[in-house]
Structure 1
Amino acid sequence: MKYEGQKLYSTIPDNFPYDREMALATMVRPEMQGQHVKTVGSLNINDRLLHYVIVHMLTPRLANFARILHEDIFIIWVLKNNIPINWPHHIMQHMLKCKASDAPLPYGVLITQIMQYCGVHVDDDASTHIGTIHHFSIHSLKRLNIVNVNGVWQHDFGDDEEE
């Protein structure tokens, strides 16, 4: 991973051309414009899927997956605007944040691969088998209330609050 790109912190630099309200307005579904947005059910399909990847993989958290945090909006905005991210820095900051809040250490697969690369034997340690429940699939999209209608992915206008 390259050590170049924007370093993401818990606060956004003053000289950065980011406006939270404008960024969020570009992510919200047309029928939800002007409403108070708190959950991913209000996001358009692409941004909702991007949010899913962020909260489950890039910056994993333990709960409140459906809630849109300020940091989530910023990361989506950075990605959509093709601003390079310093991923090693971001991963380290997220690990330190988890440590400070006594949350489990994230990125287990990544850490295991680094340890194996460095010659640390991990064969005797307990492991968790990753099964189909951990894969992103059509079932995952259905849980996000995203359905394919005549070849077009769109929101199912049922319950939008779950993820």
Structure 2
Amino acid sequence: MASPTVSSKKRISTSKQKASKKPHPLASGSLSPVDMQSQLKDSHCPVSSYLKVHKLSPLFTLSGLELFEEAVRLFYTNLRISPDSGELETLVLRNCIIVNELLFEDVFGTNFPGVISYMNGTLPEDFEVSLEGAKRAVAEPDSDSSCFGPLSLCFKNRILAHIVATTLISRIGSLSNISTRDVYILYCLLRKYCVVWFKEYMWESAEDTNASASLPYGLLISRILVDLSMFTPIVINASYDFRTFSSMGYVQVKDKWVKKDSFKARAETLKHTIFFADSTAILLQDNDELKTRLLTVERGLETLLDVVEKVFRLQKDTSTNVGKLRIAITGIKDEGISTVHRLIKQVGSLKSGVSSFNNDFAVTV
């Protein structure tokens, strides 16, 4: 094969340069920077000036991020407490979205046991709660703060913490622990304090522009934005069901959610109790059967003695050997009956002891 000429190399180089200057197409569902700026002008909070002051405008020039990342950033940017309803709300493409339990029920098929408290009011100027104080406030009463984790929370707080960790804040990593930020935000939600979201979210997003790392839970927010006509629908199955609650460390027992660890402990105790009760019942049954058999042996010996005595009466004076046999049989009878009575007494004592122990154990349980 002939090598390309110098002129052909120049043409290839020139074409590559022209191609590199062409604008790259945006990913499906993305907004251009122009569209973003026009959207910001109609926002109900001063986002444009906020971006300029904190030099975060370059965030909205990023392109090629999947799952409507720019719109997801708008979702976070415009997140605020409604002055009218006191609920958490946001504005995306002129659509007001109320972030409450009804939203999660409608979009994710999520049903909550009772009312989930969201933010209301304002953050006090001297917010001085310590991390330990926040942990005590969000944890279940009497929980061990030295090994604080998801299972330290009561069931309703655990659901809210799960929402915080997966939907309201960007989170990378396992849900098997609760970060310091999770604790503070959960504390604010439960105390109905207003949380200033924007700056922290945007700075974190600016640190890593990788699509897989930037707002990793933008997928859930994108699901909220599916109904907006500008976006292509994405089929996402995200619901709070038995599997979700199980991943939080809970299990349902008689229509009530309890921690897996405590349920396992109770189940093991119940298992041992049932096993012990069954074993005791079997032992008592065996003892009764043994006692019955011994009584049968006793009656058999008595019957044998009666038969021998009849023989003795018929042959009373015929032989000296018969007299000796009678004496021997009488001794066997007495010894056999004595042995049977002794065994019956021992079995009765054993049965009484087992019954007493079983009653004491049942009272203790």
Q: Shared fold (TM-score greater than 0.5)?
A: yes
Alignment match of 1:15 (pick from 114, 126, 133) = 126
Letter in 1 for 2:250: I
The alignment's TM-score, normalised by the length of structure 2, stands at: 0.33
Q: Which consecutive segments of 4 or more residues in structure 1 shift more than 4 A?
A: 1-5, 108-112
Task: Indicate the RMSD between aligned Cα atoms, in angstroms.
Answer: 3.4
Q: Highest CA radius of gyration, 1 or 2? A: 2
Residue in structure 2 matched with residue 48 of structure 1 by the alignment = 158
Q: Structure 1, residues 87-118: CA drift from partner, whole Å, max 9, x if none?
A: xxx1563143123134234535656949x57x
Partner of 1:156: 260
- TM-score normalised according to structure 1 size: 0.65
Q: Name whichever structure is richer in helix by fraction.
A: 2
Segments of structure 1 that go 5 or more residues without pairing to the other structure are 6-12
| Counterparts of 2:141 and 2:80, CA distance in 1 | 37
CA contact (8 A) 1:146 1:154 kept: yes
Where does 1:1-163 land on structure 2 (aligned, <5 Å)? Answer: 3=80, 15-30=126-141, 32-37=143-148, 39-86=149-196, 90-91=197-198, 93-102=200-209, 103-105=213-215, 106-108=217-219, 110=221, 113=225, 121-123=230-232, 128-131=234-237, 134-157=238-261
Contact 2:250/2:257, CA 8 A, preserved across alignment: yes
Label 1:153 to 1:61 Cα distance change in 2 as closer, same or farther (>3 A): same
| Maintained 8 Å contact 1:25/1:33 | no
How far 1:151 moved relative to its partner? 2.9
AA aligned to 2:184 is: F
Q: Larger RCO: Structure 1 or Structure 2 (Cα < 8 Å, ≥ 6 residues apart)?
A: 1
Aligned length: 140
- In structure 1, what residue type is equivalent to 2:161? H
What's the counterpart of residue 10 of structure 1? none
| Corresponding letter in the other structure for 2:205 | C
Structure 2: any 5+ residue segments left out of the alignment?
A: 1-77, 83-123, 264-365
Report the Cα distance in structure 2 between the residues aligned to 1:34 and 1:2, rounded to whole angstroms: 32
Displacement after TM superposition at 1:129 (Å): 2.3
Show CA shifts across 1:116-151 (max 9, x none): 57xxx544xxx75212xx222122112222123233
